[in-house]
Homo-oligomer: A and B are copies of this chain.
Amino acid sequence: MPALHLNGPKLLEQIHTLGQIGADPANGGRTRIALTDAEKAGRDQLVAWMHELELQVQVDRIGNIFGTLRVPGDAAPLMMGSHIDSVTNAGALDGCYGVLAGLAVQRAYREAGVLPARSICVAAFTNEEGVRYQPDMMGSLVHAGGLDVQQALDTLGTDGTRLGDELRRIGYAGELEPGAIVPHEYLELHIEQGPILEAESLQIGVVENLQGISWQQVTVKGNANHAGTTPTRLRHDAGYVASTVVSELRRFAKTSGTTLATVGCMHFEPNVINVIPRRASFTVDLRDPSEHKLQQAEAHLAQLLRQLAEEEGVSVDTEQLVRFEPVQFDAALADQIQACADRRGLSYRRMTSGAGHDAQMIARIAPAAMIFVPSRGGISHNPREHTDDGQLLEGAQVLLEVVARRLDKHR
């Protein structure tokens, strides 16, 4: 194994500098929504840094940026990556941390004057957040062949713009065919965006899988009647049915152990204090690392809705908004991450990613795994998103060591 040194101050400085682009002093955080002027500025900065490292910079037709530390031979590269687009008033770490830590790994090779056994590629995937253009994780999905590039380019945004036009406008409509760079392996370092590592005082999350997600929109239709004159037995209360689903899903999630169930949106109509709700619409977010258990949760919800609709005399409609099967990451890669954390004396746990990440798309075409570092208070997508500098550097050290071991082994 070569002696490789992580330039921690440089990594932190780049995270800070990139985090200033799109800063919103009024509302906090930064807003670099995909293919806006602010995100173009972020891309320009990233590309400038890639050129500083004398990487080969390539941009594909969907705007994914690849910076490759090229070594002789035509072996597939080891790829690290994530994204640099953000939500509105975001933290500085979500996505950017993984991309810039990738550069830090490349920098370590460069500064040590060591050539890795394979090319090392750092990818910044287009539109991971999906704020302006749906679906999210779009760039990595196109890269993995899950979405036709032309269809992606024709996507209309919430502001009516066409994605392809905006990509051209900001100068990132590249010529590389998506998926041309098939990685040998893929690693993504990311903040947890959840509270588990912090709650358990752990330093590293060894991410071995990613939950399946089922999003449904449920609409309950009952009858609006007077709150004072309608006996309980004659009610067709849409709000009661919706609320009971929320309460029952919690009970189901507690019993299940692994299933997460969240009702984030709720809307009553007519929403008047003394009128029984005639309509209640709400969303259900179900997640589980096991496809079988996710299906069980969906079946439970369906059964619950049927039963409540019959008991209360209301009608229920459901619409599937999103459905992703769980993703299993590469066990050997996860083992390597765990071994590196262990060797560095860091506390860790194997865990499931609750959020979606580019890694889940790349896992379709290459062995992939993720490394998590703690998020304070589990907070992300928020100006208060925070991970201590020391924790960020520990995560990057683990990434560097995993890369070194993978490339050493393959030498």
Contacts and interface: CB of A to CB of B under 8 A. Distances in A.
Interface of A: 192-196, 199, 211, 213, 215, 225-232, 234, 237, 239-240, 242-247, 250, 253-254, 260-268, 271-277, 280, 283, 285, 287, 321, 353-356, 378-381
A370 B139 CA distance: 70
A277 to B, nearest CB: 6
Nearest to A372: B229
Contact of A285 (B213, B228, B356): B228
Contacts of A254: 232
Contacts of A244: 243, 246-247, 250
Given A243-B247, A247-B247, A192 B355 contact: no
A267 B242 CA distance: 13
A383 to B, nearest CB: 13
Listed residue (A229, A253, A378) with the most chain B CB atoms within 10 angstroms of its CB: A229
A264 B234 contact: no
A231 B287 contact: no
A195 B225 contact: yes
A225 B379 contact: yes
B265 A226 contact: no
A192 B229 contact: yes
Contacts of A230: 194-195, 260, 354, 378
Contacts of A268: 264-266
B240 A246 contact: yes
Nearest to A254: B232
A262 B272 CA distance: 10
Contacts of A355: 226, 228-229
A292 B282 CA distance: 36
Listed residue (A234, A260, A321) with the most chain B CB atoms within 10 angstroms of its CB: A260
Contacts of A228: 194, 211, 213, 260, 285, 287, 353-356
